[in-house]
Amino acid sequence: TWCDPNGGAYKAPSWTSFIYFTMPGSVRLEQSTVINDLDIYPNPSRDMFNISFNTINKQDITLRIRNIVGEEIYTEKLNKFDGTYTKAISLENYPKAVYFLEINTNEETINKKLMLQ
């Protein structure tokens, strides 16, 4: 169900089932100035996402995961962080959907899509 051009509910009469597809098992970021070797895997995932990266110098870093409507479901603050970050984050108690990982540093913001299936 979605909205028609007038904002009312509309359901396509020919839609009968989900369409399944796969995406790469890992997402890497290559052109960051502060965060190096960002790796998110598996993506898509059934419950757990492993997130890892390295920093070039000390940074105040905030990690957030938001749902599709922008509600924050996970937050972690790292003060004056320097080195390698590795964490497994469980989304097993959340519905299957698209989520967004946001990493804020003193110098940049990185956004990545997480697919929970």
The pLDDT of residue 29 is 44
Q: Is the residue at 7 inside a domain?
A: no
The pLDDT of residue 33 is 76
Q: Which residues of the chain, if any, have pLDDT below 70? A: 1-32
Identify the domain containing residue 47 by its residue range.
24-116
- What CATH number should be reported for the domain holding residue 109? 2.60.40.2550
| Number of domains into which the chain is organized | 1
Both tokens assigned to 84: 């390698």
Q: Is the residue at 2 inside a domain?
A: no
Integer Cα distance of 40 and 102 in angstroms: 12
Q: Is the residue at 39 inside a domain?
A: yes
DSSP letter for each residue of 18-61: -------S-EEE---SSEEEEEEESSSBSSEEEEEEEESS-EEE
Q: Is the residue at 9 inside a domain?
A: no
Q: Is the residue at 111 inside a domain?
A: yes
Q: Is the residue at 11 inside a domain?
A: no
Instruction: Tell me if the pTM is above 0.85.
Output: no
**Per-residue model confidence as pLDDT tens digits over 38-72:** 999 999 999 999 999 999 899 999 999 999 999 99
Pairing assessment for the beta strands 59-66 and 97-104 based on DSSP bridges: antiparallel
Pairing assessment for the beta strands 84-90 and 2-3 based on DSSP bridges: unpaired
Q: Is the residue at 97 inside a domain?
A: yes
